[in-house]
Amino acid sequence: MYDIIIIGAGPAGLTSAVYAGRADKKVLILEKETFGGQITHSPRVENYPGFIQMSGNEFADKLVDQAMAQGAEIELDTALGIEKKDGAFCVKGERAVYEGKSVIIATGSAHRRLNLPKEDKFTGEGVSYCAVCDGAFYNGKDVAVIGGGNSALQESVLLSKNCKSVTVIQNLACLTGETKLIRELEKKDNVSFIYSSVVTELIGDSTFEGIKIKNTETQAETELSFDGIFVAIGQQPMNENFKGTVKLNEWGYVEAGESCIPESEKGIFVAGDCRSKRVRQIATAISDGAVAALAACSYIDSL
């Protein structure tokens, strides 16, 4: 029987483990894929207080070491659901069932897809969601980045260093990322922009050849040739397995305020990018992790 079961080993979940461990609670972290979450795909982290620059992997490794130093146990398993039984919570995984007095959901989010035919077929063979992972395969080639927010602009900056050309395709009439990133890209000779356009088709039979886009204002369609595209159109919260346990909003995020306490059975808490919130950054995920852990500790102490 654990005091706290934390589902997810991103910055929010790992921070929860650190705080809970320091409160002398027995903690289990369940993680289905990568320790550190999405931040491990970032080559440079420059907006975390106290560090001018570090890699996402470096940041994640330090957090994992810190959580384990506080006594947290880690299991590689996918949480399929949560049930209340005999006053405790049973977290059903693919490999086992885990029991805890409380649960913190910190599952984060995943890359949102275009949901187009052939997307699965061309993933890793022309369609990518991570410039850090796949950018090197396109050195000296022509690529497009789909999206206009911070993630898309950061991907574009990274790709522009080695790709022949980078075309940023945004569905709105303007970019929505940070001004600093926009200015950096506008100065680059190998970066161009297409606005008010969405991708409607992936072109190619056996191999990826390009995309078809439609202008949302004129409805005009255009075929463009690229060696590859990088999709950066936002994140999808990983809460589907808990929709019967906690209340989700229309976008799939857990409904919870700054207290990190959702509308659900007492003893369940939520932290990080899977929670409904306006700002999703490392700093806010870590803040959530601390708040959720302290709330869970208070709940356990009151039992």
Q: Tens digit of pLDDT for each residue in 48-64?
A: 899 898 888 899 999 99
What's the mean pLDDT in 30-58?
84
**Which pLDDT value is given to residue 98?**
98
Rg of the chain on CA atoms, in Å: 21
The chain-wide mean pLDDT, for the chain, equals: 94
| Residue ranges of domains in the chain, CATH in brackets | 2-111+235-302 (3.50.50.60), 119-231 (3.50.50.60)
Q: Is the pLDDT of residue 38 over 90?
A: no
pLDDT digits (tens, 9 = 90+) for 68-98: 999 999 999 999 999 998 889 999 999 999 9
Q: Is the pLDDT of residue 109 over 90?
A: no
Percent of the chain scoring above 90 in pLDDT:
81
The residue ranges of DSSP E strands in the chain, in sequence order, are 2-7, 27-31, 73-76, 79-85, 88-93, 97-105, 109-111, 127-128, 142-146, 165-169, 191-194, 197-203, 210-215, 221-225, 228-231, 235-237, 268-270
- Report the C-alpha dihedral over residues 47, 145, 173, 224, rounded to 10 degrees: 170
Q: What are the residue numbers of the active site?
A: 130, 133-134
**Which pLDDT value is given to residue 228?**
97
Q: Is the pLDDT of residue 163 over 90?
A: yes
Q: Is the dihedral of CA 77, 238, 268, 242 positive or negative?
A: negative
- Tell me which of 28-32, 44-48, 225-229 is least confident: 44-48
